[in-house]
């Protein structure tokens, strides 16, 4: 089967022409497999799609139009009212995000103690220093004041988690720049819980080139040069 190892981008599927040669065509949204309610996604057109297959198939069919360019995955789950983010909330967002990233790495490290595989050896060595620090703020619903105090007191513990998340997202291609599609996996899963994440990333893009460079990312999280 010539389509077996032929890769098509999201929203497209492989199709054999009359000569048997593979090429990519738009996915028919109506032909997407059925999904459960929890697999529904919300598009930037504020429309609920049955899943990412239907969303990206629709986007592909609109290719070359303004509507197609503007249609992206907004967040996971059915569309709902997302309250606007206030100036105060967007200022506090990096505090929670830094703490969350640090605690994700702590969880990965704990899992790797029994069955290694999530983190590389180099990553484990970096995280080990944070994990073994007895002054580390453990996971919990902490006040903004406590998160700020801990960041100022234990600044060095937050540098690696911020860098780690950037490099986890910087994949297609690896160029020290984050595109909208590279940010999507993180952003889309967090919007329903952290409604400031969209505005935060927009304001991170200091030069408004629709790309977030590593320096811009670090500056947004309060990491010094």
Q: How confident is the model over 3-46, as pLDDT tens digits?
A: 988 999 989 999 998 888 999 999 999 999 999 998 999 999 99
Look at 41 and 112; give whichever has higher pLDDT: 41
For residues 77 and 83, give the distance between their C-alpha atoms in angstroms, rounded to a whole number.
16
Residue with tokens 């789950």: 77
Where, residue-wise, is CATH 1.10.238.10 in the chain? 87-221
**What pLDDT is stored for residue 2 in this prediction?**
86
Where, residue-wise, is CATH 3.30.60.30 in the chain? 12-76
**Confidence category of residue 48, pLDDT binned at 50, 70, 90:** very high
Burial 99-137 (b: 16+ CB within 10 A, else e): bebbbebbebbeebeeeeeebeeebbebbeebbeeeeeb
**What pLDDT is stored for residue 116 in this prediction?**
67
Asked if residues 119 and 104 have their Cβ atoms less than 8 Å apart, the reply is: no
Q: What is the CATH number of domain 12-76?
A: 3.30.60.30
Q: Is 5 left (phi over 0), alpha (psi -120 to 50) or beta?
A: alpha
CB-hemisphere CA count at 13 Å for 123?
21
Q: What is the CATH number of domain 87-221?
A: 1.10.238.10
The answer, yes or no, to whether residue 217 has pLDDT greater than 90, is: yes
Burial of 1 (0-12, 13-18, 19+ CB in 10 A): exposed
Q: What is the pTM of this model?
A: 0.80
For residues 52 and 61, give the distance between their C-alpha atoms in angstroms, rounded to a whole number.
14
């Amino acid at each position: 089967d010539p389509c077996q190892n032929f890769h098509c981008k999201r929203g497209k599927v492989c199709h054999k022409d009359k000569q048997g040669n593979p090429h990519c065509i738009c996915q028919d949204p109506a032909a997407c497999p059925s999904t459960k309610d929890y697999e529904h996604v919300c598009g930037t057109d504020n429309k609920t799609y049955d899943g990412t297959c239907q969303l990206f198939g629709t986007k592909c069919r609109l290719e070359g139009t303004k509507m197609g360019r503007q249609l992206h995955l907004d967040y996971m789950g059915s569309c709902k009212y997302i309250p606007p983010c206030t100036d105060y909330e967007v200022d506090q967002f990096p505090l929670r995000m830094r703490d969350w990233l640090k605690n994700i790495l702590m969880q990965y490290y704990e899992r790797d103690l029994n069955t290694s595989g999530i983190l590389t050896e180099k990553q484990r060595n970096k995280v080990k220093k944070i994990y073994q620090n007895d002054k580390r703020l453990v996971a919990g619903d902490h006040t903004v004041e406590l998160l700020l105090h801990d960041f100022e007191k234990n600044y060095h513990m937050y540098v690696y988690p911020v860098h780690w998340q950037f490099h986890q997202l910087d994949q297609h291609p690896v160029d020290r720049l984050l595109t909208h599609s590279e940010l999507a996996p993180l952003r889309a899963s967090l919007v329903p819980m952290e409604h400031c994440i969209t505005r935060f990333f927009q304001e991170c893009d200091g030069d408004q080139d629709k790309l977030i460079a590593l320096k811009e990312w670090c500056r947004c999280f309060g990491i010094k040069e």
